[in-house]
């Protein structure tokens, strides 16, 4: 059994805090591994708190064979090693004689962590590993818009203050293999606006990323995507969706 321990950068150097990968590896085939990647910035401790609290809520469900970890956006290499160890793969994606463990991977990230989610998904594609779900929150950068074909479903949530001429939109590398669940803009009046394909948000009227990052509506939506994915997989112990 291997337990990974790393320093996750969820704040500037003067305010770093320790987090650990406690998932025992390799995991049993059929397990689920949920990885949350945190962003950075001057207020990263406060802004990342909701992402960490989401992980804590998921752990509190105590669903068998579901493992939840959070780490800094710059801990890409350590996260990849964790996945390789969890699935019994080597650095080239090869399985041992006894075979690899089949693991359902769910990835979410805030800010720079959203970019790390897609970077990791692309690397996992090279290794031949599927990703069940990616969720990006407030991710900046045009290079983060293409969801690789090994991802089954993807969602993108962003804020009017951060959106610039379509930089935050995502689309599938292969629409036959990846379902885009949403490109949602969180408006200034705290409502979700679904932007159809080909429509970009206008110039931001005011910066409000910190408010967006901590708004419960944002992280409740991320949690809904994760729980829906686990229900889709038929995982026992996942709470039923609330009545509409």
Give 46-71 pLDDT, tens digit per residue.
668 888 999 999 999 999 999 999 99
Comparing 35 with 242, the larger pLDDT belongs to 35
> What percentage of residues in the chain have a pLDDT greater than 90?
53
Q: How far apart are CA 91 and CA 50, in angstroms?
A: 32
In this predicted structure, what is the pLDDT of residue 168?
A: 62
Q: How many CA atoms lie within 13 A of 39 on its CB side?
A: 26
Q: What is the mean pLDDT of residues 171-196?
A: 85
Comparing 5 with 177, the larger pLDDT belongs to 177
Q: How far apart are CA 47 and CA 215, in angstroms?
A: 10
Comparing 19 with 83, the larger pLDDT belongs to 83
Q: Is the pLDDT of residue 201 over 70?
A: no
Lowest-confidence range among 28-32, 136-140, 181-185, 186-190? 186-190
pTM of the model: 0.84
Closest CA to 163 of 205, 108, 107, 196: 205
Q: For 135-168, how does the pLDDT look when each residue is reduced to its tens digit (9 = 90+)?
A: 998 876 555 689 999 999 999 987 755 554 444 6
- Strand-pairing partners, residue 35, are 69, 107
Angstrom distances, CA of residue 16 to CA of 9, 27, 46: 6, 29, 12
Q: Is the pLDDT of residue 34 over 80?
A: yes
Q: What CATH architecture is 5-232?
A: 3-Layer(aba) Sandwich (3.40)
* Confidence bin at 204 (pLDDT 50/70/90): very low
Which tokens is 104 given? 């359902």
Which string of b and e fits 32-54 if b means at least 16 CB within 10 Å? bbbbbbbbbbeebbebbebbbeb
Lowest-confidence range among 14-23, 28-37, 98-107, 150-159? 14-23
Comparing 3 with 116, the larger pLDDT belongs to 116
* Confidence bin at 184 (pLDDT 50/70/90): confident
Q: How far apart are CA 63 and CA 45, in angstroms?
A: 28
Q: Is the pLDDT of residue 124 over 60?
A: yes
């Amino acid at each position: 059994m291997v337990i990974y321990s790393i320093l996750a950068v969820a704040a500037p150097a003067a305010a770093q805090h320790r987090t650990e990968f406690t998932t025992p590896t390799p995991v049993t085939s059929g397990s689920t591994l949920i990885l949350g990647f945190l962003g950075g910035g001057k207020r990263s401790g406060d802004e990342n708190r909701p992402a960490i609290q989401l992980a804590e809520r998921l752990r509190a469900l105590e669903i068998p064979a579901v493992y939840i970890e959070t780490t800094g956006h710059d801990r890409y290499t350590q996260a990849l090693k964790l996945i390789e160890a969890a699935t019994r793969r080597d650095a080239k994606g090869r399985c041992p004689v006894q075979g690899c463990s089949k693991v359902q991977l769910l990835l979410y990230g805030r800010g720079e962590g959203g970019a790390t989610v897609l970077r990791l998904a692309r690397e996992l594609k090279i290794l031949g590993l599927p990703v069940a779900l990616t969720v990006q929150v407030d991710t900046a950068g045009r290079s983060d818009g293409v969801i690789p074909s090994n991802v089954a479903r993807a969602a993108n949530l962003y804020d009017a203050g951060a959106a610039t001429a379509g930089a935050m939109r995502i689309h599938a590398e292969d629409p036959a293999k990846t379902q885009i669940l949403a490109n949602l803009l969180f408006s200034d009046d705290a409502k979700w606006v679904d932007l159809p394909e080909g429509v970009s948000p206008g110039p931001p009227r005011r910066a409000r990323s910190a408010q967006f990052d901590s708004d419960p509506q944002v992280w409740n939506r991320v949690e809904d995507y994760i729980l829906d994915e686990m229900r889709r997989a038929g995982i026992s112990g996942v709470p039923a969706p609330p009545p509409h």
